[in-house]
Amino acid sequence: MPAVLAVFAHPDDIEFRAAGTLLLLREAGWDVHYWNICSGNLGSTVMKARQTALVRRRESQTAAARLGAVWYPPFANDLELFYTDANLRRVCAVVRRIQPSIVLTHPPIDYMEDHTICCRLAVTGTFARGVPNYRSNPSGRPTREPLAVYHSAPHGLKGPLGEPYIPGCYVDIGAVHAKKRDSLSCHRSQKEWLDASQGMDSYLVALDEDARVLGRASGKFHLSESWTRHLHLGFGGVDQDPLREVLGPRCAGNRIGRAVKTLK
């Protein structure tokens, strides 16, 4: 059975950016794997870091269960995630164990460093999966099965300097948006944090608005997530695009390279 691995930084990042696509792949018979590699311990203004990490761990486990996904534990605290040899070996080990056909992660550059470093670890850890002389931790057998890496929309649907965001494709999540929203609602601790730290007013309202903005940008769908495929070299064939192959008409390319327009 084919598998998809979502590798994102913090609890709730998967729900914001990838849950709709994961639900559609699960409906298509895929195994879904859910991995936040940061603990989320700094995501509160009212709880201590240790308590916050425990609360967010439970929230992410509940959300993963609602998505029908296998949950994997974090290995770093917030703002303590770095591009290191040890962390690369951890990521490579999970990729070798799952042998996914799709890896979903953050964009290569995002508004905060945890997202950017998570992306770098996901891409290089995936690339290393087939290198015979690279030892993962724990050790695992190298695999050269082809896969595709896709990058999500950036936070705020803009680059970190406010530059326009131009996705490679849009996924129609209209049929699963309610389930996506339900999975994000598991992260109840984040309403207070996001209201206070980022002025998002309501994280669920922000989720809905992003989906509508991306839907309008697609020119085809009402509610959407968006993705950009990583260059195929070292991962799979030049024409390999499993999201479009599996999702068919639910996945539409951004043929004219149109930037997403937001009011944010």
pLDDT, one tens digit per residue, over 83-130 is 999 999 999 999 999 999 999 999 999 999 999 999 999 999 999 999
Buried b (16+ CB within 10 A) or exposed e, 61-80: ebbbebbbbebbebebebee
Evaluate whether residue 47 is within a structural domain: yes
Closest residue by Cα to residue 63 from 36, 91, 81: 36
- pLDDT value at 264 more than 60: no
Evaluate whether residue 160 is within a structural domain: yes
Evaluate whether residue 139 is within a structural domain: yes
Evaluate whether residue 263 is within a structural domain: no
Q: How many structural domains are present in the chain?
A: 1
Evaluate whether residue 203 is within a structural domain: yes
- pLDDT value at 199 more than 80: no
Q: Where are the beta strands (DSSP E) in the chain?
A: 3-8, 31-36, 70-72, 102-105, 148-152, 169-172, 224-229, 251-253
Q: Could you list the residue range(s) of the whole structural domain that residue 121 is in?
A: 3-253
- pLDDT value at 67 more than 70: yes
Evaluate whether residue 264 is within a structural domain: no
Evaluate whether residue 260 is within a structural domain: no
- At 258, the pLDDT band (50, 70, 90 cuts) reads confident
Evaluate whether residue 261 is within a structural domain: no
- pLDDT value at 9 more than 90: yes
* Mean model confidence pLDDT for the chain: 94
CATH code at position 222: 3.40.50.10320
- pLDDT value at 161 more than 60: yes
pTM above 0.75, yes or no: yes
198 or 137, higher pLDDT: 137
- pLDDT value at 192 more than 70: no
